Amino acid sequence: MTIPSSGRSYANSGQKSLGEVHGGSRSMIRLLRRSVFLAAAAILCLSSESSSASTGKYAGEFIAIGVGGRALGLGSSYAALANDVTAGYWNPAGLSSLSYPQIALMHDERFGSLVNYDYAAVALPVGMTSTLGLSVIRLGVDNVANTKDAWVDQNNDGLPDQNEIDYSKIRYFNTADWAFYFSYARRLTHDLSYGLNLKFIRRQNGGQTATGIGFDAGVQYVIDERVALGANFQDLTTTLIAWNNGRNELISPTLKLGAAYFIDALGGRFSPTVDVDTRFEGRKSASNAHIGRVSFDFHGGLEFDFQRAIAVRAGISDIGSPNFGTGIHLSKLDIDYCFSKFDAVGQLDDTHRISLTFTLQAEQFARGGE
């Protein structure tokens, strides 16, 4: 049993796919599995050799922002409900619910368009039970002015006067964080699925660069037609980020546990969800609750999908900000919008996010036999 979809059904359609599309699926899956296990072994070796690495509480914050208007509108409580291409980020096990290839895009601008956050993903069902996926995230500030060599303090007053600045010597650079998720999901039984992520991180800040590698593992279990459970263990073996200046950082593991319930009423479906993020890096008072170095952050949401045509959503994020959203389901396109409210002193400006999900819903692309 696959997780019930709020939009079009992503359950296995039973239709055949073209042999040309899926002929090499087995070799691809074997290659991905081998890569995942080799990466896990490499992470363990690197972790054991990086005693000088610091465990940064916020080293991986840029990949914790979230993706997809639907999930964000639910306060990011999506570990159990994820059943589309964005599951590669939220819980790779959810990719097994797809019956057709999907593509997702999202763009987000903050601080008067100074900070750009972009996301793109693609997922391809292979055979009867497996799915492959690729997700890319970029958080960047472009065209940052480097004025280090442009100012000569001629009068030694420590203040940049107009005639002391040589504008021809101003250089511009980009600072950007990238994350690449290579996902594999498989449905073990009608009710149980698992998924794996091999994750690469690339960070750049002027002349300084860093590279990281991580590993996620997720599972989803549908108890019955009304209840679904999900878990995603992110950065399972810790993610090492090594900078070219010799500084190392480690992203500690995060265990995301979620549950979703489905209620058919008023001509549509209500889907309340709840998630808890368990971290092991000593966030203490910065979290909702903590026991020693273990912290807990809670978030939840509610979606009402009317006749698989339009959806409205509300949620509370782990930092307590209210989120609201809506979605429109077209024949092969989902348009999802999320509004995040920040109104306390010192917080970010309100944020608007729109995501698009394209489904290649045609017989020649349907999930087929292995």
The pLDDT tens digits for 308-319 are: 999 999 999 988
Residues whose CB is less than 8 angstroms from the CB of residue 19 and which lie 6 or more positions away in sequence, other chains included: none
Q: What is the mean pLDDT of the chain?
A: 83
Flag whether 7 is in a domain: no
pLDDT category of residue 347 using cuts at 50, 70 and 90: low
Please report, for residues 176, 178, 295, 337, the alpha-carbon distance to residue 330 in angstroms, rounded to integers and kept in the order given: 34, 31, 40, 14
Per-residue pLDDT, 342:
66
Mean pLDDT in residue range 93-120: 90
Per-residue pLDDT, 141:
83
Flag whether 2 is in a domain: no
Flag whether 163 is in a domain: yes
Structure tokens at 260: 């979703």
pLDDT category of residue 12 using cuts at 50, 70 and 90: very low
Structure tokens at 225: 């037609």
Domain that holds residue 172: 19-365
* pTM for the predicted model, two decimal places: 0.80
Flag whether 143 is in a domain: yes
The rounded distance, in Å, linking the Cα atoms of 166 and 73 is 48
* pLDDT score of 331 more than 80: yes
Flag whether 13 is in a domain: no
The rounded distance, in Å, linking the Cα atoms of 355 and 30 is 32
Flag whether 311 is in a domain: yes
* pLDDT score of 289 more than 80: yes
Please tell me the least confidently modeled range out of 96-100, 171-175, 208-212, 317-321: 171-175
Is the distance from CB of 284 to CB of 249 less than 8 angstroms?
Answer: no
Q: pLDDT per residue over 212-235, tens digit each?
A: 999 999 999 999 999 999 999 999
Return the CATH number at 23.
Answer: 2.40.160.60
Cα Dmax for the chain: 79
Flag whether 219 is in a domain: yes
Instruction: Quote the number of domains for the chain.
Output: 1
Flag whether 297 is in a domain: yes
